[in-house]
Structure 1
Amino acid sequence: MEEETSFDPDVIHGIFKGVWAKMAALEQEKAEASDAADSEAGASASKRHRRTTANANALKLSAELLRLFVVEAVQRSAAIAEVEGATKIEATHLERILPQLLLDF
């Protein structure tokens, strides 16, 4: 049996960190806007920001889930391409299966 290769958990961690950084920046902008409005009203509350981290097992699991998602997308797209008589999977095949794939995951 052939061993399945997965995405590198470090790459997944890098993606997560990028998303977390963007979310933190948006939250900070909202908090600053809210603090400016509150200071005009006379009340100010500061939020304590926690650092977001990911467990190594959670990263491995996320990488495996992403691998399964991609494999399923390729298999469904290949089935559509085969029905149409195409020898290559094209973007249109992926576009056709994507709505149901997203609902299934």
Structure 2
Amino acid sequence: MENTFDSDLIYSIFKLAWSRKTPEKSKEAEPIDTEVARASKKNRSTTANSNALTVSCELLRIFVTEAVERAAIIAEAEGNGKIEATHLERILPQLLLDF
């Protein structure tokens, strides 16, 4: 198996993103009854199972690999031996459209 991202790292990043979104949702509609609030889907904690994390890690690995390969092509065409931020900026719009 090829090198991939650590699933614990990806899960931590997802948890951070989910925790940042949670306060926004709770401000929109505050429940009147606390018993209803406990059973509400909006108040459940968000998690990801191991299969979802494995697929997410693989998708991120492919995305980063493709970005580096495309930026390397641009850098080589310009005669640079190094990939610079400008090369990534040039390939990013099409890369995002492709994914």
- For Structure 1 versus Structure 2, the TM-score category normalised by the shorter chain is 0.7 to 0.9
Is 1:104–2:98 an aligned residue pair? yes
The residue matched to 1:52 in structure 2 has which SS?
Answer: coil
In the alignment, what sits opposite 2:59?
65
- Relative to the length of structure 1, the TM-score reads 0.82
| Distance (whole Å) between structure 1 residues aligned to residue 27 and residue 12 of structure 2 | 23
1:19 alignment counterpart: 17
Worse-matched range after superposition: 3-12 or 90-99: 3-12
Runs of 4+ in 1 over 4 A off after TM superposition: 44-47
Unaligned runs of 5+ in 2: none
TM, length-normalised to structure 2: 0.86
Q: Deviation string for 1:38-88 (max 9, x for gaps)?
A: xxxxxx576521121101011011011000000000000000000000010
What number of residue pairs does the alignment pair up? 93
Q: Which has the larger radius of gyration?
A: 1
The 5 A counterparts of 1:45-84 are: 47=37, 48=40, 49-84=43-78
RMSD between aligned residues? 1.6
In the alignment, residue 25 of structure 1 is paired with which amino acid? P
> In the alignment, is residue 87 of structure 1 matched against residue 85 of structure 2?
no
Counterpart CA distance in 2 for 1:74 and 1:4 is 16
